[in-house]
Chains A and B, each alone.
Chain A
Amino acid sequence: MADHALTHDEVVAPHGVHEHPFYQKHHFETAEQQREAAGFGMWLFLLTEIMFFGGLFMAYLLYRNWYYDAFVSGSNTLSLSLGLINTIVLIGSSLTMAMAVWAAEVRKQGALVMYLVATIVLGCVFLGIKTVEYKEKFELHHVPGASFDISEFVHPTDKAEKPLPVDMANKTQIYFSLYFAMTGVHAFHMIIGLGMLIYFVIKARQGLYTTGYVQPIENFGLYWHFVDIVWIFLFPLLYLINRH
């Protein structure tokens, strides 16, 4: 189906002009006003999210400049293939989410449920892979804190890796702090998102969102895509600092 613009009336006001769609809250004048308010509100919320992650990115930028070698070595211990798979999975989940919004807009209940479930599955795959990665870090003692161990960076098992002097190797802890803080906050957002997705699936099966009431799905889509964008930056910044 090609892109096309539906006028609002076709979608939400099929019965007579004085009827308000059931989902319109009565403090809004029109359903359209409500929809735009909700969308704008969601964007403002994403604005706060930008600044929330912004503080972490600021810290990352500073320490990456200061301790570049430690960041490179730290980054090279991450699994490129797992990171790449996760990137593809997450962008894929963004695609299915976008398709879910489309399905809701053209009122295809079956497709909507299918795409939402697909998004959940992909989200779970992402978190699963993330768990595997985290587990490996725990086993290697690369988790910041008392048990943090720098021996891997001073005497790398992989001969291709450049050994770090001890003072620089100590700074890998900052890299891993930021790695865990950034991916952790990101994963936390995904867990919240998955919880909401499950709710949406239940409601979508009851046909709530295929009657013109697209706005919750659309807003959630914005949130999910935002989480995707954060990952689009995290992937090169954390995994690909200098791989050659």
Chain B
Amino acid sequence: MGISPVLWQFLTKWLTSSALWPREASTVAGQTDALYIFLWLMTIVGMALVLALLVVFSVKYRKEKHPNAIQIEGSTLLEATWTIIPLGIFLFVFVWGAWLYFRIYNPPADSMNIYIVGKQWMWKAEHPGGQHEINALHVPMGRNVQLTMISQDVFHSYSIPEFRVKREVIPGRYSTVWFNATAAGTYHLFCTQYCGTLHSGMVGDVVVMTPSDYQAWVDSSTSGMSLAQNGERLFASMGCSQCHTGDAAARGPNLAGIYGAKLKMDDGSTQLVTDGFLRDAILNPSAHLPAGFKPIMPTYQGQISEEGMIDLVEYIKGLKTNYRVQQTLGTSQSNQAAPSASGTVIP
């Protein structure tokens, strides 16, 4: 029975394209592969050593050749050798791996941010400009891209093998990962944390485009409203602007420029305002009370979807002045409704 032509085709494809490792399509891919190759060398050398010992001893000391065993108690020197050398190698691997880990999980400050929402069984990507994607992610080549990810239901895991990048997407908490794609093309996107029936269907494509192609894509796929604009509408409709007016006498803290600041808290601690902090402060305000304010803010747990939360966070992140907040407030107080035209004005 010959090899079926289909199988043969797959075999040649496997051997010619990605025989032992997937394509290196990000800046960390090469670094991960270097560690991987080092680790295999370690394995092969270790394995060869053990095999050599087994074979040589088996041949040399088999019963026909060596009928009487010579008892040896042990050898402290030898044992110390094979304690210390592996220990040294493992510690070296630890340092190398730790370096790589911190590199992959520490996004550079100048990264562009894309939000990812995972749910059973699809990936939603939300670009700051308001572009939405399902089971796909378009990114420009040569730019640092940070993904801020959250799950709506269970644990998922965002994995792009060609980038050697993966991180769990957690319910109730933002997690981040970043990459810098180096080669244009379409790559696999997998959910790697088992998440229920259609786990293996939670896949998609990561499309890396040249900057100009990317710009063209951005322009053609906009939904008309940026995340921040959506956030602004939510900010008004949820009543946030009633208290967070930016006035010195306001019931809520001034949010303009708050992102990235160190906030003095009611309990005396200091907290850095991050995406995660903003999200938690909206859901559990009393546990995130800045100094000098009363715990009067209601919780929005269960009232805002994760996408809405992202809009709000993105809005507050970009909030530099309270001018528009006060304007909106003035309008809504007179109209009892948020102005529907606000989306058309670019802040």
Q: Do A and B touch (CB < 8 Å)?
A: yes
Interface residues of A (CB under 8 A from B): 66-67, 69, 164-168, 170
- Asked if B295 CB lies within 8 Å of chain A CBs, one says yes
- Nearest to B280 among chain A residues (CB) is A167
- Could you say which residues of chain A place their CB within 8 Å of the CB of B297? 165
- Could you say which residues of chain B place their CB within 8 Å of the CB of A166? 298-299
Distance in angstroms between the alpha carbons of A66 and B287 in the assembled complex: 9
- Nearest to B300 among chain A residues (CB) is A167
B304 to nearest A CB, angstroms? 13
Please list the 4 inter-chain residue pairs (A to B) with the smallest Cβ-Cβ separation, ordered nearest first: A167-B299, A165-B286, A167-B284, A165-B295
A-contacting residues, B256-294, CB 8 Å: 283-287
- Asked if B301 CB lies within 8 Å of chain A CBs, one says yes
B283 to nearest A CB, angstroms? 7
- Could you say which residues of chain B place their CB within 8 Å of the CB of A167? 283-287, 298-299, 301
- Nearest to A165 among chain B residues (CB) is B286
Distance in angstroms between the alpha carbons of A66 and B286 in the assembled complex: 12
- Nearest to B301 among chain A residues (CB) is A167
A-contacting residues, B282-328, CB 8 Å: 283-287, 295-299, 301
- Nearest to B295 among chain A residues (CB) is A165
Inter-subunit contact B301/A165 (CB<8 Å): no
A62 to nearest B CB, angstroms? 14
Knowing that A167-B285, A170-B299 touch, tell me 20 more A-B residue pairs with CB under 8 angstroms: A66-B287, A67-B287, A69-B286, A164-B286, A165-B285, A165-B286, A165-B296, A165-B297, A165-B298, A166-B298, A166-B299, A167-B283, A167-B284, A167-B286, A167-B287, A167-B298, A168-B284, A168-B286, A168-B287, A168-B295
- Nearest to B298 among chain A residues (CB) is A166
- Nearest to A67 among chain B residues (CB) is B287
Q: Which of A164, A167, A168, A170 gathers most chain B CB within 10 Å?
A: A167
A173 to nearest B CB, angstroms? 12
Distance in angstroms between the alpha carbons of A168 and B286 in the assembled complex: 7
- Could you say which residues of chain B place their CB within 8 Å of the CB of A67? 287
Distance in angstroms between the alpha carbons of A50 and B299 in the assembled complex: 38
Distance in angstroms between the alpha carbons of A69 and B286 in the assembled complex: 10
Distance in angstroms between the alpha carbons of A84 and B157 in the assembled complex: 49
- Could you say which residues of chain B place their CB within 8 Å of the CB of A66? 287
- Could you say which residues of chain A place their CB within 8 Å of the CB of B301? 167, 170
- Could you say which residues of chain B place their CB within 8 Å of the CB of A168? 284, 286-287, 295
A-contacting residues, B137-167, CB 8 Å: none
Distance in angstroms between the alpha carbons of A69 and B288 in the assembled complex: 13
Distance in angstroms between the alpha carbons of A170 and B287 in the assembled complex: 12
Q: Which of B284, B296, B298, B301 gathers most chain A CB within 10 Å?
A: B284
Distance in angstroms between the alpha carbons of A67 and B284 in the assembled complex: 10
Distance in angstroms between the alpha carbons of A184 and B136 in the assembled complex: 48
A128 to nearest B CB, angstroms? 38
- Could you say which residues of chain B place their CB within 8 Å of the CB of A170? 299, 301
Distance in angstroms between the alpha carbons of A228 and B38 in the assembled complex: 56
B299 to nearest A CB, angstroms? 3
Distance in angstroms between the alpha carbons of A165 and B285 in the assembled complex: 9
Q: Can you identify 23 A-B contacts, CB atoms within 8 angstroms? A: A66-B287, A69-B286, A164-B286, A165-B285, A165-B286, A165-B295, A165-B296, A165-B297, A165-B298, A166-B298, A166-B299, A167-B283, A167-B284, A167-B285, A167-B286, A167-B287, A167-B298, A167-B299, A167-B301, A168-B284, A168-B286, A168-B295, A170-B299
- Could you say which residues of chain A place their CB within 8 Å of the CB of B285? 165, 167
Distance in angstroms between the alpha carbons of A170 and B301 in the assembled complex: 10
Distance in angstroms between the alpha carbons of A165 and B287 in the assembled complex: 10
Q: Which of A67, A165, A170 gathers most chain B CB within 10 Å?
A: A165
A90 to nearest B CB, angstroms? 35
- Nearest to B288 among chain A residues (CB) is A167
- Nearest to A164 among chain B residues (CB) is B286
- Could you say which residues of chain A place their CB within 8 Å of the CB of B298? 165-167
A73 to nearest B CB, angstroms? 12
Distance in angstroms between the alpha carbons of A65 and B296 in the assembled complex: 22
- Could you say which residues of chain B place their CB within 8 Å of the CB of A165? 285-286, 295-299
- Could you say which residues of chain A place their CB within 8 Å of the CB of B299? 165-167, 170
Distance in angstroms between the alpha carbons of A166 and B295 in the assembled complex: 10
Distance in angstroms between the alpha carbons of A164 and B296 in the assembled complex: 10
Distance in angstroms between the alpha carbons of A69 and B296 in the assembled complex: 15
- Could you say which residues of chain A place their CB within 8 Å of the CB of B283? 167
Distance in angstroms between the alpha carbons of A93 and B229 in the assembled complex: 67
- Nearest to B302 among chain A residues (CB) is A170
Distance in angstroms between the alpha carbons of A164 and B298 in the assembled complex: 11
Distance in angstroms between the alpha carbons of A48 and B297 in the assembled complex: 45
- Nearest to B267 among chain A residues (CB) is A68
Distance in angstroms between the alpha carbons of A66 and B296 in the assembled complex: 19
A-contacting residues, B147-198, CB 8 Å: none
Distance in angstroms between the alpha carbons of A222 and B9 in the assembled complex: 70
- Could you say which residues of chain A place their CB within 8 Å of the CB of B286? 69, 164-165, 167-168
A76 to nearest B CB, angstroms? 17
- Nearest to B286 among chain A residues (CB) is A165
Distance in angstroms between the alpha carbons of A227 and B286 in the assembled complex: 37
- Could you say which residues of chain A place their CB within 8 Å of the CB of B287? 66-67, 167-168
